Structure 1
Amino acid sequence: MRSGEDPGAHTPVTFESCSHVEGPFYHGTKSAVEAGTELVPGYGSNFHAGRASNNIYFSALVETAVWGAELATALAGSAERGHVYVVEPTGPFEDDPNVTNKRFPGNPTQSYRTRHPLRVVAEVKEWEGHEPAVLNGMLDHLAQLREQGLDVIED
C-alpha cells in the first residue's frame, strides 16, 4: 500500500483485472441443477419480468447467494426453498455495478457478474435462510424501488 492510501479503499474488479479474486464462489437461484451444469446468461431475469439478462451473477459470500436464492423463489411466487451452488467462472468477470459503489461503498457483498458460463461444482445443502419478516422487508423494499422507478438493473 502506498503512503496516504486508504486501507479500506475498493480496488475495482474488471474483466481485465479479475484473476486476483479467489473463490470459492456461490450462485443463488430458484433452479435445481446438477453438478457440471453450466449456468449461462441470456435467460429471463429473476428481478424483471420479460427481460433477458446479459450477465450471470455470483458472489464470494454464501450470504449474498442466499439472498439471490430466496429473492428468486419469492419473486417467482414459489414457496419452495431456493438453491445455492458452489460455482466456477469460466471466463473473466467484474464487480456487479448494481451494488458496487451504488448501493454499498466498495463491494462488501463481494458480488460479481460475467457474460461467460458459471460451472456448477456442488450444491450447498446446509444454508440458513432469513426470517420471514426480514425477507418480506426486502421484498417490500424492492417493490418500493419498482414503484419509484428506481429498480434499474445495469446489465
Structure 2
Amino acid sequence: MNQDSSEENPIYYHGTKADLKTGDLIEAGFSSNYGTRRKAKYIYLSATLEAATWGAELASGEGRERIYIVEPTGAIEDDPNLTDKKFPGNPTRSYRSQHPFKVTGEVMEWQGHSPEQLKTMKDHLEKLKQQGIEAIED
C-alpha cells in the first residue's frame, strides 16, 4: 500500500516511539535519536512513508513504533542530513522545522524493514557515532 503523498498535496509523516494523540504537538528540544543524543534544535518529518518508517524503527525509547500524520505549524526546510549536503536533491522528501508539528492522525498499518536491514542501518549509525559524526543542526 503506497501512502506517499503527491508533491502538490503533501501528507507529512513523523516516525517515533512516543505515544501521542490527535491534537498533540511534537516540539524541538528533546534528546535527539542520533549521535550523542544532545538536545535537538529541529524536529523532522517526511512526505514518504518509507522515511517515516526508518524514523519509527530507529527512534530511542521503549515504546511501540508509531507513525503519525502531522501538520507543520510553521516553515519547514529540506533536511540537510538527507539532502544536498549528503545526497543530491531530496529523494526521501525529508524536512525539518523548529516549529511544532500537530498530530492529525496515525498510520495504523505499515511494513517495517527486515531484521537484516535494521541491523545494517543501526550498525552504520553506531559507526558514525563512534566517529563523532552528528546530525547537521545548523
- The alignment status of 1:24 with 2:3, answered yes or no, reads no
The secondary structure found in structure 1 opposite 2:15 is: strand
Given residue 37 of structure 1, which amino acid in structure 2 is its aligned partner? D
Percent identical among aligned pairs is 48
- The alignment status of 1:152 with 2:138, answered yes or no, reads no
* Partner residue, 1:17: none
Q: 1:134 aligns with which of 100, 117, 120?
A: 117
* Partner residue, 2:57: 70
Structure 2, unmatched stretches of 5+, are: 1-6
Q: How does 1:2-151 map to 2 (within 5 A)?
A: 22-73=9-60, 76=61, 78=62, 81-149=64-132, 151=133
Counterpart contact for 2:34–2:134, Cα < 8 Å: no
Using structure 2 for the length normalisation, give the TM-score.
Answer: 0.88
Bigger Rg, which one: 1
How many angstroms does 1:152 deviate by?
2.0
User: In the aligned structure 1, how far is the partner of 2:119 from the partner of 2:37?
Assistant: 23
Structure 1, unmatched stretches of 5+, are: 1-19
The secondary structure found in structure 1 opposite 2:121 is: helix
TM-aligned CA distance change 1:58 to 1:91, over 3 Å:
same
The secondary structure found in structure 2 opposite 1:116 is: coil
User: In the aligned structure 2, how far is the partner of 1:58 from the partner of 1:50?
Assistant: 18
TM-aligned CA distance change 1:24 to 1:50, over 3 Å:
closer
User: In the aligned structure 1, how far is the partner of 2:31 from the partner of 2:18?
Assistant: 12
- Per-residue CA deviation, residues 105-149 of structure 1 (Å, 9 max, x unaligned), is 110010000010100000101011001011000001111122223
* Partner residue, 1:10: none
